[in-house]
A and B are shown apart, each in its own frame.
Chain A
């Protein structure tokens, strides 16, 4: 099992604009940290060097240089960025580059499921930790956690898509369309998330897939992308949401009258599932299934619309 072990800030990373494959091979230097003898440092570097770096998805583009590596918890290392990033790798300032070894190896007894989240405690970026806790709760059926999760994901993905689409000459409206498509994809495919797996790579694998799919559909290409844009990124996730061009409710009507009615009752008029069930003369589970199928069909429909 690969636990999310550490975030390393990489100083010497070349990010190629090719995104067909989500791994990059890159030379990595870990500065010699104070308080550690050379051997330890070297072992970290070697370990790092052997790994294929999974791009901490395109987060890293948007926010600086945070990369996630997988590894055994006992070999976890936390390094601080040389350059200050918008995405702080440690809560404290990044004045003194340092590497800390988590000798305790708290996660070494990690078993299936929740145990892995223990091993994250010290090493993993707070965002990853929070999102993962929320996701786990969501999968267990916690609607509040799910709402919070979607809110946070939305902020990240909005920045991601605006950024990406701006690079190839599309506006924020398309970004919003794509964002909604991605949210629906995340929703309908959330059974593909394994609770033992780090969350952000999962999230961004889907986000990136949707982006590449958009490129294919619209025949855009990354060849149009100027090289230097990989470096200069300003994430404006705080900009208010704008209306997307797609009217989801209109699409919904296209799919199934029943589904749109049920969703209308539950969401717009704020009925509980059982009330809606009574109104539509359906069983509660039928209402749930109807909503579920409606959303799945919607995911297909919205993708066509965005093409």
Chain B
């Protein structure tokens, strides 16, 4: 078929494009993913016992701040990565800030009381770390799906990069959901195991990206 015919065809499908359309899609995907994974958390493991107590709420809030700051740092570069022409202006530097802050605070705490480190890293039970990793990844799955949908509405030209950022943001949301269930209350635990879980999600995302995002 002649290319001119194609051009004529395309011309017939010219709907005005709203400004900020793509950003809206991404924000919607993040919101939907967040709600979905929160409901999933309630339906499966549920919030920790006695979460209403001030002490527990304080820890939930602290973990949420960490997890959501990862989401907040990861979303803008994710958005840039799905806009052709901006995909090379994506920077990792801001994204690692939450992780670095958490690690820095952990180090400060550990320097204060070196012996407490193993206890802090161990968490509430001996399998806490494993539970943390697996549940964060598990709760990241739904937001990941929503993000993949949104990314496919955009035009990712560096698929591995977009996949990695999607994994990072989804990991942050998974960590936020798990924060309600987690009973290991120490900052080193959050820095190491939450951080590792999010990194794991990022790596998985980078692996899946090229396969799932091609267009």
CB distance from A247 to the nearest CB of B (A): 5
**How many residue pairs at the A-B interface have CB separations less than 8 Å?**
128
- The reply to whether the CB of B82 lies closer than 8 angstroms to some CB of chain A is yes
Chain A residues with CB under 8 A of B13: 187, 288, 291-292, 295
B15 CB contact (under 8 Å) in A141, A154, A189, A192: A141
Q: How large is the interface on B (under 10, 10 to 19, 20 to 34, 35 or more residues)?
A: 35 or more
Q: Which residue of A lies closest to B153 (CB)?
A: A191
CB distance from B156 to the nearest CB of A (A): 8
A183 CB contact (under 8 Å) in B3, B12, B21, B85: B3
B83 CB contact (under 8 Å) in A180, A194, A292: A194
Task: With A205-B87, A209-B157 as known contacts, state yes or no: A295 contacts B9, CB within 8 Å.
Answer: yes
Contact B7 A185 (CB under 8 A): no
- Bound Cα distance from A257 to B179, whole angstroms: 50
- The reply to whether the CB of A139 lies closer than 8 angstroms to some CB of chain B is yes
Task: With A192-B22, A292-B13 as known contacts, state yes or no: A154 contacts B7, CB within 8 Å.
Answer: yes
Contact A151 B7 (CB under 8 A): yes
B4 CB contact (under 8 Å) in A202, A213, A241, A295: A241
Contact A138 B14 (CB under 8 A): yes
Chain A residues with CB under 8 A of B22: 191-192
Contact A141 B83 (CB under 8 A): no
Stretch of A8-16, A142-150, A222-230 contacting B (4+ beta carbons < 8 Å): A142-150
Taking A2-B89, A189-B84, A291-B13 as given, write out 17 further A-B residue pairs in contact, using a Cβ cutoff of 8 Å, ordered by the A residue number. A139-B16, A142-B14, A150-B7, A150-B11, A154-B7, A183-B7, A192-B84, A197-B83, A197-B86, A202-B84, A206-B155, A206-B157, A208-B157, A241-B2, A244-B2, A267-B12, A295-B13
B residues contacting A by CB (< 8 A) are 1-19, 21-22, 82-89, 153-155, 157, 214-215
19 A-B residue pairs with CB within 8 Å: A154-B3, A180-B3, A184-B10, A192-B82, A192-B154, A195-B19, A205-B85, A205-B87, A206-B84, A206-B157, A241-B3, A244-B1, A249-B1, A263-B9, A263-B12, A267-B5, A267-B8, A288-B15, A291-B13
